[in-house]
């Protein structure tokens, strides 16, 4: 495909992929087999990268247009997703409903003391979506964010020309003048080489956490003592760029984030030093981080400011067990940095 020049009139973010309703259950303990755990509280919230990213941007006060793309079931959960999008002024023209599958949902079991999460996921209608109805010439968004690779059955399939069907979809967006962005789900499998790597040549901005970066590159990113290996982390980002990512690789981890551009610019940003009782749950923190960085990329901010915005929105999301209800505004999120400060630099960065 021959790419068109990126039109200055393009504005906003289109996010497509997994649309999920999270049923977040706070439990007192993680039970042993055949034992009982008590559900202390249950909350329904947004789930899946497109839903989380777009709602985070809307709640934080982004003023540019937001579009959603994907598929939900013709059921109560699907209607709840569509109603939520309308409440936040997210354009749902390309968020279809199908009678062939139920809306995807995830039971998020969150341990009260630690905030650790375990996910029980039903793929539902997301497995059917391939994005064939997206007209990138008519959608005037500046960035197309697709997620999660490895959790989109219809797009994770191989494609003889573009590596994967996701690669074909991303190439179409690039040909229309959009920047493309992807995120990956953390999966304990060998599918990264078959699904993630072939897609990367059609990606401008690539987001991964440390687990996904390690799986994609084969590198060991943590030392035996549990510390991040900052040298290997840099090499991993460089290796992912060499796999074809056009502009930027961002790797995030509990301690913060690292970004490397194809021009050779590096940026580190430590996460906030939050008190233990502040964290109600970690679901959605990665998507909130991604939303902040995408906001900055859309606005043309310096890379360091993009990462700072990302870690602050991630910190805000941690205050609530759902993925997005902890987001109040961008100024509130940035204020958390002034209130709590940042973690100390990683060993090797002092």
How high is the pLDDT of residue 124? 98
How high is the pLDDT of residue 105? 97
Distances in whole angstroms, Cα of residue 146 to Cα of each of 112, 200, 298: 32, 12, 15
How high is the pLDDT of residue 60? 98
DSSP assignment string, 190-252: STIIIIIHHHGGG-SEEEEEHHHHHHHH----B-TTS-B-HHHHHHHHHHHHHTT-SSEEEEE
CA distance 169 to 155: 8
How high is the pLDDT of residue 324? 96
How high is the pLDDT of residue 6? 52
Instruction: Tell how far CA 207 is from the center of its chain.
Output: 7
How high is the pLDDT of residue 7? 54
Low-confidence ranges of the chain (pLDDT < 50): 1-3, 5
Summarised one tens digit per residue, pLDDT across range 160-171 is 999 999 999 999
How high is the pLDDT of residue 115? 76
How high is the pLDDT of residue 233? 97
């Amino acid at each position: 495909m021959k790419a068109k020049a990126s039109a200055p009139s393009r504005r906003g973010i289109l996010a497509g992929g997994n649309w999920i309703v999270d049923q977040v259950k706070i439990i007192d303990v993680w039970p042993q087999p055949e034992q009982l755990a008590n559900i202390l509280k249950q909350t329904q919230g947004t789930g899946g990268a497109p839903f989380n990213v777009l709602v985070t941007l809307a709640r934080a006060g982004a003023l540019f247009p937001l579009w959603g793309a994907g598929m939900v079931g013709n059921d109560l959960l699907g209607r709840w997703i569509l109603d939520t999008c309308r409440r936040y002024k997210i354009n749902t023209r390309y968020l279809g409903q199908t009678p062939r599958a139920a809306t995807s949902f995830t039971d998020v079991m969150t341990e009260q003391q630690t905030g650790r999460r375990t996910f029980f996921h039903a793929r539902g209608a997301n497995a059917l979506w391939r994005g064939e109805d997206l007209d990138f010439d008519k959608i005037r968004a500046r960035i197309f964010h697709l997620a999660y690779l490895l959790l989109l059955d219809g797009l994770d399939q191989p494609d003889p020309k573009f590596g994967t069907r996701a690669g074909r979809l991303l190439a179409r967006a690039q040909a229309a003048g959009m920047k493309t962005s992807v995120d990956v789900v953390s999966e304990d499998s060998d599918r990264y080489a078959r699904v993630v790597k072939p897609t990367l040549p059609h990606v401008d901005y690539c987001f991964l956490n440390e687990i996904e970066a390690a799986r994609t590159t084969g590198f060991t990113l943590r030392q035996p003592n549990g510390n991040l290996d900052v040298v290997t982390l840099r090499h991993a980002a460089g290796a992912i760029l060499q796999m074809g990512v056009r502009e930027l690789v961002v790797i995030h981890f509990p301690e913060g984030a690292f970004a490397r551009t194809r021009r050779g610019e590096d940026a580190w940003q430590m996460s906030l030093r939050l008190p233990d009782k502040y964290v109600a749950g970690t679901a959605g923190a990665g998507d909130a981080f991604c939303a902040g960085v995408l906001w900055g990329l859309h606005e043309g901010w310096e890379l360091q400011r993009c990462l700072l915005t990302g870690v602050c929105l991630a910190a805000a999301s941690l205050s609530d067990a759902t993925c997005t209800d902890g987001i109040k505004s961008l100024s509130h999120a940035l204020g958390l940095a002034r209130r709590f400060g940042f973690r100390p630099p990683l060993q090797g960065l002092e």
